[in-house]
């Protein structure tokens, strides 16, 4: 190699000024913020640390801004090694096809940085705790290759410690459990019957997870579990205090409905049935939200008074919420998480269920767990093809059951087959299923441009099968109570409820927020399209038929982020005696009380709302639609992952349509897995000191 080539090589690995000088770094962060690659909040953290610690090295300030930014992407921590492998994922760079501008890219900045040098800079910093962080109070915590904001490190420790404690203290089961299980699962045709095994595992633990895809019987299983636990307690005259919860109001409402049905059909004595609750509350309500605070009324000093807590749709629980639940739950109480581990995680930081279920497919039961399961269930696990495990190494797996048979989406279901192919990241098989036309319940549509008539036809769904938006609008038009019906006539509530139900027959699901196929543009386009077809009276502002999504909790109104309502013109009681009743536009929301109640809210009283003809896949979690259509954008984007596609497909109960303007985007999404960095899936749960 020539001398000048060597010089060049040395020059390229020389750290850039922004990695050496705090002021240079801060001005780079300014540029990143101006470009929209970094949030103001992320930059502010670096600025705050510099103010507190003027000697703070540039590498540490950069790390702080990146940890904060990673939180916004759902990562609990900054994984240093992964960041060095793919530095440009550390910021929100524009999607493919858009200009990146002149600012230095993270890949250029971090190009010459070695992991060891980065760690050394952090370890010696006055704002980072790396040795015995529990005894420190510095704002950042370094654990090996993971850098945390202290608060998130504490949440993670809290979850790991309390779960470890729960897992190490099994609960006694009643001697007649095999007989009770056999009675509850009589007539099962599965072998092994994972529902029965899941029940047995959950009955013996203070913590357990039951995971499974759509229709695998999670609700059915948990209802039987509650009967299994409640029967001996009722017979002993001490019924268990059981509470059911879900992360969102929508999920809670869905579960309330299906639990109610299942409890009614339980093959147990009525005295036991009445001691099984059918009402499901949101986690916020269960813990007692305090306005304008991230704290809850129930906490370690004021624990929840209950013996069993079941949380459904647990894939939506973020790390902070999980830590809050575990803090407020007495150790004596059982906690059962139900959910589909393969779904998208919450928008907030942490993918608790996904992390905890990292090895659920393999089983990893120890010889003792396996022998115990076979004994109490009377079933052999030979055919299940599980990997052997060890109770010390795989403590959590001893309390995890995965339901493997879908009762709703079998081999004859296109939705089921497609969801399974996507879950395996098998893009070719997924495409073949969509293309073959062999299944009537799944289809794909190419959209040439934003005004493609195929889009309009699907959205309006004028032929009603599969459903589009004409369906709820025809209920609105045709089912309207007579204008003479007085304001207190129940017909107004019945009408609103039918419209809300009809609206849930179809939903457009967007993968992204911006761009031609982003949720904002699509909502506007749909409103305009339905207006032009004479199905809506207007396309802007408040108009009858406008569906809205609440985007911020309003405790005084009892409306939660994610609740959906529809604006309707209803008859209003007169304000003063002697005056006549007026018609007014009100937004109808389901009461989510399991009894089909509806309430009407004045539009001007609502907190922040978005029109919701289309919603993001994230927001659709916990909901189910007869027909779900996923709209993929034309540009590749790191948010497009197999978890996102899987979640969209599994929102559909009868029809799924893939809408795409550039086919490779689907293939690329299906091949990409979500990576959420945290410490929950990296370390065996330790013994509490
Ligand atoms: N062991 C079983 N045998 C026959 N049918 C079953 C069995 N378990 C569940 N089902 C039926 O399968 C359907 C789905 O069950 P369930 O609602 O319990 O599943 P889930 O996993 O909770 O579904 P979701 O995807 O809605 O969360 C229901 O109609 C239920 O009655």
Q: Are 213 and 342 in contact (CB under 8 A)?
A: yes
Q: How high is the pLDDT of residue 507?
A: 96
Mean pLDDT by 10 residues, the chain (689 residues): 44 67 88 88 94 91 93 89 87 67 80 90 92 88 94 93 92 89 84 92 95 92 94 93 91 86 87 92 90 88 96 93 96 95 83 88 91 90 85 90 89 93 95 93 91 89 80 93 86 94 94 88 94 91 95 81 92 76 89 78 90 94 92 86 95 95 91 76 47
Instruction: Report the separation in Å between the CA atom of 8 and the middle of ligand 1, taken as the mean of its atom positions.
Output: 65
**CATH tag for 22-159 (out of 3.30.420.40, 3.40.190.170, 1.10.10.1020, 3.30.70.20):** 1.10.10.1020
For ligand 1, mutation pick of 217, 343, 622, 647 (most atoms within 8 Å of CB): 217
Ligand 1 pocket check for 408: Cβ under 6 Å: yes
Give strand pairing partners of 627.
506, 655
Identical fold, 175-403 and 414-551+606-671: yes
The DSSP result for 62-101, as a single string, is HHHHHHHHHHHTT-SSEEHHHHHHSGGGGS-PPPTTS---
Instruction: Report the separation in Å between the CA atom of 250 and the middle of ligand 1, taken as the mean of its atom positions.
Output: 19
If you take atom 30 of ligand 1, which residue's CA is the nearest one?
A: 217
Q: Quick one: which atom of ligand 1 is closest to the CA of 193?
A: 1
Give the span between the Cα atoms of 625 and 647, in whole angstroms.
12
CATH superfamily of 414-551+606-671: P-loop containing nucleotide triphosphate hydrolases (3.40.50.300)
Q: Are 315 and 621 in contact (CB under 8 A)?
A: yes
Q: How high is the pLDDT of residue 450?
A: 83
Give the span between the Cα atoms of 354 and 400, in whole angstroms.
12
Give the span between the Cα atoms of 539 and 543, in whole angstroms.
7
pTM of this structure: 0.87
Helices (H), 329-452: 352-356, 367-377, 414-423, 427-436
Ligand 1 pocket check for 257: Cβ under 6 Å: no
Q: How high is the pLDDT of residue 339?
A: 95
Ligand 1 pocket check for 188: Cβ under 6 Å: yes
Ligand 1 pocket check for 195: Cβ under 6 Å: yes
Cis bond before residue 466 (omega within 30° of 0):
yes
Ligand 1 pocket check for 435: Cβ under 6 Å: no
Q: Quick one: which atom of ligand 1 is closest to the CA of 214?
A: 25
Domain ranges for the chain: 22-159, 175-403, 414-551+606-671
Instruction: Report the separation in Å between the CA atom of 309 and the middle of ligand 1, taken as the mean of its atom positions.
Output: 20
Ligand 1 pocket check for 212: Cβ under 6 Å: yes
Interior angle at CA 678, CA 344 and CA 112, nearest 5 = 110
Class of domain 175-403 as given by CATH: alpha beta
ipTM score of complex: 0.97
Ligand 1 pocket check for 214: Cβ under 6 Å: yes
564-572 and 582-590 strand pairing = antiparallel
Q: How high is the pLDDT of residue 99?
A: 63
């Amino acid at each position: 190699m020539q001398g000048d080539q060597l010089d060049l090589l040395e020059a390229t690995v020389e750290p850039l000024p922004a990695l050496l000088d705090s002021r240079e770094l801060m001005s780079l962060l300014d540029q990143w913020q101006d470009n929209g690659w970094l949030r103001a909040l992320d930059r502010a953290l670096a600025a705050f640390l510099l103010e507190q610690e003027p000697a703070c090295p540039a590498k540490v300030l950069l790390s702080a801004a990146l940890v904060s930014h990673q939180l916004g992407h759902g990562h609990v921590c900054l994984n240093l090694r992964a960041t060095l492998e793919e530095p440009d994922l550390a910021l929100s760079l524009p999607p493919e096809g858009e200009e990146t501008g002149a600012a230095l890219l993270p890949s250029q900045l971090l190009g010459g940085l070695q992991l060891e040098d980065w760690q050394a800079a952090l370890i010696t910093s006055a704002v980072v705790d790396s040795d015995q962080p529990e005894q420190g109070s510095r704002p950042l915590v370094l654990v090996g290759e993971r850098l945390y904001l202290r608060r998130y490190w504490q949440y993670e420790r809290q979850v790991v410690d309390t779960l470890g404690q729960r897992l190490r203290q099994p609960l006694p089961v009643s001697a007649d459990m095999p007989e009770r299980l056999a009675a509850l699962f009589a007539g099962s045709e599965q072998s092994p019957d994972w529902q029965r095994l899941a029940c047995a595992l959950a009955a013996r633990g203070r913590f357990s997870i039951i995971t499974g895809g759509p229709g695998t019987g999670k609700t059915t299983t948990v209802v039987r579990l509650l009967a299994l636990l409640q029967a001996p307690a009722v017979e002993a005259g001490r019924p268990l205090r059981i509470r059911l919860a879900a992360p969102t109001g929508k999920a809670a409402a869905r579960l309330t409905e299906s639990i109610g049905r299942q409890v009614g059909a339980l093959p147990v004595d009525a005295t036991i049935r009445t001691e099984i609750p059918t009402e499901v509350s949101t986690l916020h309500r269960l813990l007692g939200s305090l306005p304008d605070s991230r704290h809850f009324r129930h906490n370690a000093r004021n624990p929840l008074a209950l013996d069993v807590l079941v949380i459904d749709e647990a894939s939506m629980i973020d790390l902070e919420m999980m830590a809050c639940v575990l803090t407020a739950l007495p150790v004596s109480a059982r906690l059962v998480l139900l959910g589909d581990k393969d779904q998208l995680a919450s928008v907030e930081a942490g993918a608790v269920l996904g992390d905890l279920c990292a090895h659920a497919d393999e089983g990893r039961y120890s010889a003792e767990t396996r022998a115990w399961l076979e004994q109490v269930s009377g079933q052999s696990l030979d055919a299940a093809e599980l990997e052997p495990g060890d109770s010390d190494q795989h403590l959590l797996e001893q309390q995890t059951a995965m339901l493997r048979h879908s009762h709703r989406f079998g081999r004859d279901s296109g939705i089921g087959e497609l969801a399974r192919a996507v879950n395996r990241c098998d893009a070719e098989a997924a495409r073949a299923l969509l293309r073959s036309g062999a299944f009537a319940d799944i289809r794909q549509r190419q959209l040439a441009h934003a005004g493609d008539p195929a889009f309009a036809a699907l959205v309006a769904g004028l032929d009603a099968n599969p459903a589009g938006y004409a369906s709820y609008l025809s209920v609105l038009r045709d089912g309207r109570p007579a204008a003479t019906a007085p304001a207190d006539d129940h017909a107004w509530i019945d009408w609103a409820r039918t419209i809300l139900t009809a609206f849930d027959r179809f939903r457009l699901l967007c993968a992204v927020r911006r761009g031609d196929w982003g949720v904002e543009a699509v909502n506007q386009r749909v409103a305009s399209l339905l207006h032009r077809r004479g199905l809506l009276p207007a396309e802007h502002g408040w108009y009858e038929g406008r569906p809205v999504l609440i985007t911020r909790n309003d405790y005084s109104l009892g409306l939660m982020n994610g609740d959906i309502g529809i604006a309707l013109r209803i008859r209003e009681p007169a304000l003063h005696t002697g005056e006549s009743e007026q018609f007014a536009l009100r937004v109808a929301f389901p009461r989510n009380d399991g009894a089909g109640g509806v309430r009407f809210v004045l539009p001007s009283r609502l907190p922040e709302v978005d029109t919701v003809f289309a919603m993001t896949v994230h927001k659709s979690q916990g909901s189910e639609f007869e027909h779900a259509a996923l709209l993929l954008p034309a540009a590749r984007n790191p948010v497009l992952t197999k978890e996102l596609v899987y979640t969209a497909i599994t929102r559909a109960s009868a029809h799924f349509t893939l809408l795409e303007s550039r086919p490779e985007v689907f293939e690329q999404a299906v091949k990409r897995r979500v990576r959420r960095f945290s410490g929950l899936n990296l370390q065996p749960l330790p013994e509490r000191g």
